[in-house]
């Protein structure tokens, strides 16, 4: 995927790219008893506050996507956004 097709969420002064790996971690957070502290550590964030900020900014539909389908679904999302402009 090219850089124009990256899905990035800004958390403080950092950018967290949503890709197959980060999606796996976020889905594990959603479906288990993983804490915000554990989520922050898994994503390389500095604190649970940053993890909380990230979770608040993630669109709900994104957490229902299978990580293996991420590229296909996100490409469709990008194409639809381009059509709307």
| Measured distance CA(23)–CA(17) in Å, rounded | 10
pLDDT in tens, 10-57: 998 999 999 999 999 999 999 999 999 999 999 999 999 999 999 999
Total tally of structural domains belonging to the chain: 1
9, 25, 26, 41, 65 from 50: Cα distances, Å:
11, 15, 13, 10, 23
Confidence (pTM) = 0.80
- Domain containing 69 equals 3-84
What confidence category does residue 60 fall into, taking pLDDT thresholds of 50, 70 and 90? confident
> 3-class SS at 82?
helix
| Measured distance CA(83)–CA(22) in Å, rounded | 27
């Amino acid at each position: 995927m090219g850089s124009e097709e990256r899905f990035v969420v800004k958390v403080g002064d950092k950018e967290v790219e949503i890709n197959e790996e980060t999606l796996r971690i976020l889905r594990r957070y959603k479906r288990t008893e993983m804490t915000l502290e554990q989520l922050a550590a898994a994503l390389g964030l500095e604190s649970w506050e940053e993890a909380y900020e990230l979770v608040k900014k993630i669109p709900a539909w994104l957490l229902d996507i299978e990580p293996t389908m991420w590229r296909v679904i996100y490409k469709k999302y990008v194409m639809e956004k381009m059509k709307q402009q």
